[in-house]
Each structure stands twice: as C-alpha cells, then as structure tokens.
Amino acid sequence: MRIFGLQITRAAPRAPVAQNASPVSAYGGNGGWWPLIVREPSSGAWQQNRELAPETLLAYYAVYACVTLISADIGKLQVNLMQREPSDIWSKAQSAAFSPVLQKPNAYQTHIQFIENWVMSKLTRGNTYVLKDRDARGVVNAMYVLDPSRVTVLVADDGSVYYRLSSDKLAGIPDADSDVTVPASEIIHDRMNCLFHPLVGTSPLFACALAARQGLAIQNNSASFFENGAQPGGILVAPGAISDETAKRLKDKWEENFGGVNRGRLAVLGDGLKYEALTMNAVDAQLIEQQKMTAEIVCSVYHVPQYMVGVGTAPTYNNIEALSQNYYSQCLQSLIESMELCLDEGLALPKDYRTELDLDGLLRMDTASLMKTLTDGVGGGIVAPNEARRKINLKPVKGGASPYLQQQNYSLAALAERDANEPFSKPTATTLTDAGNPNAEPSDDPNPDPSIGQPSGEKALNIQDIEREAQQLMSAAIAEAQRSAVREQC
C-alpha cells in the first residue's frame, strides 16, 4: 500500500530488515518503554492502581503549569525560513518547497498548535515523533506529531534505525493486521535527556514524579479534611470493655449520623459513652509549606522560574528584558535550538538554508528600553531608521534605508590616511613656485636661496613676510577708520 507518498510493503526487501530489528531498551535493559512512561512509587503499586502515569501527574497544578507555559511560549514563536546571503548574513526567505509546510504543517493544525503538540510530547514523554508526508517530488508537504505510546524504535543488526507505528488515523496510518515499519528517514525524532539509551529520551516527569504525587496526595487529603468541616476526627470512649461487633456498630452509626454533611449535629450519648475530638499538631497542619516544596521541586526539574507559575515571589527589580532573557537561557533555549536542528535535518534543507524561531515574540522589552535601544542604534550608525521603525511596526520612510552618522565623524581609513602624512610635524618654508607646481622636485639644500627659480623681478615670500604684510594692511585699515571718525565729528 502507499502511504505518505511512499510504497509501504511487508514483503521483501523490507520484511527481512523488520524481522532482524529489535526494540531498544529504555531503562537499563529492564522493562522496555514502560518504566519511562509509568513509574511505581513502591513495589506492587501498579497492582494497587497507584502508578505514576503522565496523565495522572499532569493533574498536579505545578506540572500542568510548567508544561503549558513552556509549550505556549515556544508555540507563539513564528518559524521562519532563513537564507544565507553572499555577505554571510541570514535573512528571511520564501521557498515553494519548504515555506508552505512550515506555515501549515498539516490539515488539522496551525503552526502554533503543531509546535505546542511537539513540545508537550517532549516534556511529558521525553520523545517527539513527527511523521513526514511527501509529495510526488519527494518533498515534505505535511508533518504529523504521533502519539509516543504508539511508536517503538527498532534497531537492526547492521545499526539501521526503524520505527514501528501503530494505527493513527489523524496521521493517515490506517488500521491493519500488523503495525507499519518505516525507516528513520521518514521520522523526525526529537528526544530529551537520553539518560539510558541514545534513541530514547527521558521526560522531566521521571525526576519529579514523586514530588507531583506527594502534591496530589496533599491536595486530596486537604479536600477530604475540609469536606469534614475542617476538623479532625475523634474517638468514642466507652466506660468498659465492648466487643468488636459493638464497636463497629457504634462507629458506623456515628459516621452515618454525625459525619460528612451531618457534621455539627447534636449527639446524645448514653451508657457512659464519651466523645473526644482529636487535635492536629503544628507540623501536620503545615500543608501550605509542604505543598510549596513539591511545587518548587517540579519547577526546578523543568527549569522554570518559580514566580512564573505562581509558586515564588517575583524579583524586586523591574526589568522585563532581563527576566525574559533568564527564562530563555535556562529553560527554552535548548528546546528551541533542538527543534530548529530537527526541522533542518528532517526537511533536508540545502546548505545555505535553515529554520529559525523568531525570538522577538518572546524577548520583548518595555517601551522605554526599546525606544532607547533603537535610538542608540540609529544614532550610532548601526541600524538604519527604517529597520528601527520595523521593530515598532511602522512603515518605512523615504531616505531611511541607510544608516546615518554626523558629518564630523570620519572613517578609520580616513584617520589612518591623515596620520600617515605626519599631521603634527612642523611646517617648512615653501616658495610660491613650489606651491604652484606640485610636480617640483624637493631641494636637497638645507638653506635654499629663495630667489633661485623665480622669474626676474620677483622675490620669494615666506610665512613671516605674509604675516608682516597682513599686519601692515590691518594697521592701515584701522588708521583710516580713525580718520573717518574724526571727520564725522568735525
């Protein structure tokens, strides 16, 4: 049969490879995949329905908050196709082969939903499996995030990697008598924390499962406590010995008449029976502190700042950019760069192409800091005015496509040329003939005769002569002005 533009067969030549391929072990060679998906807090917990499955742990508010926060923050970033220019600068590009699948990965998901699904699968199961659908050209035209519980990694004797896929109608895998096996070239496999096998990722839930279970137990016990009127239980004390049947009858009767919603009703006791309420010590009452501790453990495992999920207090300084940068570097950066690399390899992008998630949607500055940064960039000649206007969603203006600097600023090349001509050396006497003839050969005589080389009747002038003549003209002008003033007064 034909699936995703490929001919999938269970006969030769694929069958011999599938027969020799065996599932990889995820956890020390014991238990296959399940220990990374379901954990037992104690021996026999699975039989008692106390296993720590991802679906159960996601009910804890700290786990849910971390997973949804990370996936939503990465999902809102636009995936851009970048091309390297001859100047070694990466710029946005459009390609008929690659751009459509990045903008619309499949028929039922937007690019935001697709990325969120990708990240959630990685955070909760440690692995993201993306099945590629190809057109007649062999170009990927659709991508589907698979359910990790329906995928098994197979390794053949020669080291080849295959993936065994169970039925998934959304991804176009029909129901069949047996599973479908596809080569690694048709799967994008993004894995997290490969602690036990290089082909099997480990979810952060592996490390915080017990903390999440403790938090859920605290919440369940707290709910039962407040359903009981926010008061602990008590004991009925009889004046003498009673049989087990009598004790059970009194207990059942008391719980029926004075427990739960009947809490607070008036009880009438006889035969010397006495009710004594139990008290709760201060350690047992510290539910909030214990609950906070479990949430802090979950946040530390997911590398999420505690204040972002309502656990800790926000930092006192008001610097949005610094907070976002810290959150990006310690939590999101590895996830984002891993996704970009998986997309590059999975789509088989050419050498001068790559995918890039636009971080402007994440690392947003406050208005004052943004305007100051853009002003400094434009004033320093680094950013063109239209580039700065694009950052604040303004249209370009005429003449704003080039960076600008003030007129008195000189290039380093011009300053180097000036310094090479010894600008700070003392000036030498220059004859009028030499000044008017740039091709004149310099004289080797240290005391040249200024009259040599001059036409008949002319005399060489030096700087002192010029200054003396200028002073004489100025004195004459001043004297003439004084005489004019005297005549006017007369």
pLDDT of 435 > 60? The answer is no
Mean pLDDT, to the nearest integer, of 245-251? 78
d(CA 44, CA 50): 9
The amino acid present at 63, given as its one-letter code, is V
Residue 313 CA: distances (Å) to CA of 52, 257, 303: 29, 45, 16
The domains of the chain are located at: 1-231+282-364, 233-278, 429-489
Per DSSP, 59 falls in state T
pLDDT of 431 > 60? The answer is no
Q: Which residue do the tokens 């001859």 mark?
A: 86
- Residue 38: Cβ-neighbour burial (10 angstroms; 0-12, 13-18, 19+): middle
d(CA 54, CA 310): 22
Predicted confidence at residue 167, as pLDDT, reads 86
pLDDT of 13 > 50? The answer is no
Predicted confidence at residue 17, as pLDDT, reads 47
Mean pLDDT, to the nearest integer, of 140-167? 91
Across 11-15, 314-318, 392-396, 442-446, which has the greatest mean pLDDT?
392-396
pLDDT of 10 > 50? The answer is no
Predicted confidence at residue 472, as pLDDT, reads 78
Dihedral of CA 443/448/450/455: which sign?
negative
Predicted confidence at residue 325, as pLDDT, reads 82
pLDDT of 409 > 50? The answer is yes
Mean pLDDT, to the nearest integer, of 227-255? 71
The amino acid present at 461, given as its one-letter code, is L
CB 153 within 8 A of CB 187: no
pLDDT digits (tens, 9 = 90+) for 392-408: 888 988 888 888 777 77
pLDDT digits (tens, 9 = 90+) for 211-232: 998 888 888 877 776 665 555 5
Radius of gyration (C-alpha) of the chain in whole angstroms: 42
Lowest mean pLDDT, pick from 32-46, 246-260, 310-324, 351-365: 32-46
The amino acid present at 55, given as its one-letter code, is E
d(CA 124, CA 212): 13
d(CA 44, CA 376): 65
pLDDT of 463 > 60? The answer is yes
Predicted confidence at residue 16, as pLDDT, reads 42
Q: Nearest to residue 354, comparing CAs of 364, 341, 367?
A: 341
Q: Is the bond preceding 13 in cis, omega lying within 30 degrees of 0?
A: yes
pLDDT of 117 > 90? The answer is yes
pLDDT of 433 > 60? The answer is no
102 pLDDT band, cuts 50/70/90, is very high
Pick the more confident residue, 167 or 225: 167
pLDDT of 32 > 50? The answer is no
Predicted confidence at residue 28, as pLDDT, reads 44
pTM over 0.85: no
114 pLDDT band, cuts 50/70/90, is very high
CB 120 within 8 A of CB 373: no
Mean pLDDT, to the nearest integer, of 353-371? 80
The amino acid present at 411, given as its one-letter code, is S
Both tokens of residue 149? 């519980």
Both tokens of residue 138? 């062999």
Q: Nearest to residue 302, comparing CAs of 475, 66, 115?
A: 66
| Count of alpha carbons within 13 angstroms of residue 165, beta-carbon side | 28
